[in-house]
């Protein structure tokens, strides 16, 4: 799969590229591609998805959303905003033969953890997860490179207490302090979260200064993540790059290594 962030708001271009180039699915990045409230336009999007027949996941908005914010107004507005997205998606989700993943962030954009409220985060995640489950999807919390969602113990507690599943982001893991400082390996982190991982984001690492997802220079930058995650059977693997050059470089590195191992 790839992220629709490459194509911004043009869902038809994203679908055409996926079909032409043999991708199995698309993750719709809802920071850029916003769902229209106009039912005619929304139905046109759903119809395009059905006609394409691709595996589909959604990355819920993160830029102006924080369900566990210290300010109750921000937290409640964020929760309501995400519930609106789930409501818009629910007719399509409920008609699937699988449960599409809906990925969420806690502590997005490296917000200071002092701005967040732990118990409110757990409660609002649980409430949103219940709504997503009823709608026919599965809510997945993504590990990040900073904050609660980067620490194995706090992240696992958030996941278990709220009842959400996990989108494992290999690039965030490699860029997080616990992995960079050698306190835990990426493979150990995967093992800790394994029962909850249902979706994967794959690329080399996230640049600590710019936040840009960086494609691999060699198989060595993907090997540990691939080796740890492949046995788990996650259905969707998103090569989460911001541009076509990075996407195709990542795909080439991955396919070359997989083909080489298959021939051995």
Give yes or no for residue 169 having a pLDDT over 80. yes
CB 178 within 8 A of CB 185: no
Give yes or no for residue 11 having a pLDDT over 90. yes
Instruction: Report yes or no on 175 lying in a domain.
Output: yes
Instruction: Report yes or no on 49 lying in a domain.
Output: no
Confidence at residue 197, expressed as pLDDT on a 0 to 100 scale? 98
120 sits in which H/E element:
helix 118-135
Give mean pLDDT, residues 224-237.
Answer: 95
Alpha-carbon distance of 129 to 101, in angstroms, equals 11
Confidence at residue 70, expressed as pLDDT on a 0 to 100 scale? 98
Give yes or no for residue 146 having a pLDDT over 90. yes
Confidence at residue 49, expressed as pLDDT on a 0 to 100 scale? 98
Share of the chain above pLDDT 90, in %: 95
Least confident of 3-7, 112-116, 207-211: 207-211
Give yes or no for residue 259 having a pLDDT over 90. no
Give yes or no for residue 152 having a pLDDT over 70. yes
Mean pLDDT of the chain: 96
Confidence at residue 5, expressed as pLDDT on a 0 to 100 scale? 96
- Structural domain for 158, as ranges: 67-263
Instruction: Report yes or no on 234 lying in a domain.
Output: yes
| CATH (domain of 200) | 3.20.20.150
Give yes or no for residue 264 having a pLDDT over 70. no
Q: Which token pair is 195?
A: 């029962």
Confidence at residue 13, expressed as pLDDT on a 0 to 100 scale? 98
Q: How deeply is 53 buried, as exposed, middle or buried, from its count of CB atoms within 10 A (0-12, 13-18, 19+)?
A: exposed
Confidence at residue 261, expressed as pLDDT on a 0 to 100 scale? 74
Instruction: Report yes or no on 252 lying in a domain.
Output: yes
Least Cα distance to 52 among 91, 24, 90 occurs for 24
Give me the number of domains the chain comprises.
1
Instruction: Report yes or no on 139 lying in a domain.
Output: yes
Give mean pLDDT, residues 109-125.
Answer: 97
Give mean pLDDT, residues 168-174.
Answer: 98
Instruction: Report yes or no on 48 lying in a domain.
Output: no
Confidence at residue 258, expressed as pLDDT on a 0 to 100 scale? 86
User: Which residue(s) pair with 129 in the sheet?
Assistant: none
Instruction: Report yes or no on 39 lying in a domain.
Output: no
Instruction: Report yes or no on 246 lying in a domain.
Output: yes
CA distances from residue 173 to 20, 48, 130, 204, 205 in whole angstroms, order as listed: 31, 34, 27, 10, 8
């Amino acid at each position: 799969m790839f992220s629709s962030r490459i194509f911004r708001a043009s869902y038809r271009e994203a679908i055409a590229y996926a079909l032409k180039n043999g991708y199995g699915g698309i993750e719709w990045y809802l920071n850029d591609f916003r769902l229209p409230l106009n039912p005619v336009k929304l139905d046109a999007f759903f119809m395009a998805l059905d006609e394409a027949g691709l595996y589909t996941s959604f990355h819920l908005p993160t830029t102006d959303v924080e369900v566990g914010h210290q300010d109750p107004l921000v937290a409640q507005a964020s929760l309501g905003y995400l519930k609106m997205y789930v409501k818009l998606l629910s007719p399509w989700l409920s008609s699937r033969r699988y449960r599409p993943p809906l990925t969420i962030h806690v502590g997005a954009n490296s917000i200071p953890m002092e701005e967040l409220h732990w118990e409110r985060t757990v409660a609002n995640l649980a409430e949103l997860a219940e709504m997503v489950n009823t709608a026919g999807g599965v809510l997945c919390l993504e590990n990040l490179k900073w904050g609660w969602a980067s620490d194995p113990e706090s992240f696992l507690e958030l996941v278990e207490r709220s009842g959400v599943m996990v989108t494992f982001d290999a690039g965030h893991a490699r860029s997080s302090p616990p992995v960079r400082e050698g306190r835990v390996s990426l493979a150990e982190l995967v093992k800790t979260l394994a029962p909850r991982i249902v979706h994967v984001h794959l690329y080399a690492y996230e640049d600590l200064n710019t936040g840009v997802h960086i494609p691999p220079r060699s198989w060595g930058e993907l090997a540990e993540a691939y080796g740890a995650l492949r046995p788990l059977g996650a259905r969707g693997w998103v090569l989460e790059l911001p541009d076509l050059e990075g996407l195709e470089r990542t795909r080439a590195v991955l396919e070359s290594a997989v083909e080489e191992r298959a021939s051995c």
